[in-house]
Amino acid sequence: MAARTVTKKDLAKAVAKRHDMTHMEAGDIIKSVFDQIIEELGSGNRLELRDFGVFEPRTKRGRKARNPRTGETVYTEDGVAVRFKTGKKMGEAVQECLGRL
């Protein structure tokens, strides 16, 4: 059974239903939370959400790579990637849910 894709809109509808608010109000709150997460990570901050997980910006050094189409050697630039490490409670909950499939 393939997992379905859940969008920000789907989250807003679920939160709105749970907290007796409009889906627009819930969407604004969710967007605000996501925007703040992006701002914190963009400032180089580590974001820890207890039991959920940790978001951490990591510097990636450029490297030598190969273009698979042409076989040509290319060089990638330095960059930043966000690492996410699952919190214990969330990891256990997901494992339990997936174990039931």
For residue range 27-37, what is the model confidence (pLDDT) as tens digits? 999 999 999 99
- Return mean pLDDT, the chain: 93
Q: Which domains does the chain have, with CATH numbers?
A: 1-45 (no CATH), 48-101 (4.10.520.10)
For residue range 11-57, what is the model confidence (pLDDT) as tens digits? 999 999 999 999 999 999 999 999 999 999 999 999 999 999 999 99
DSSP H helices, the chain, are: 8-19, 23-42, 88-99
d(CA 84, CA 72): 32
Q: What is the reported pTM?
A: 0.76
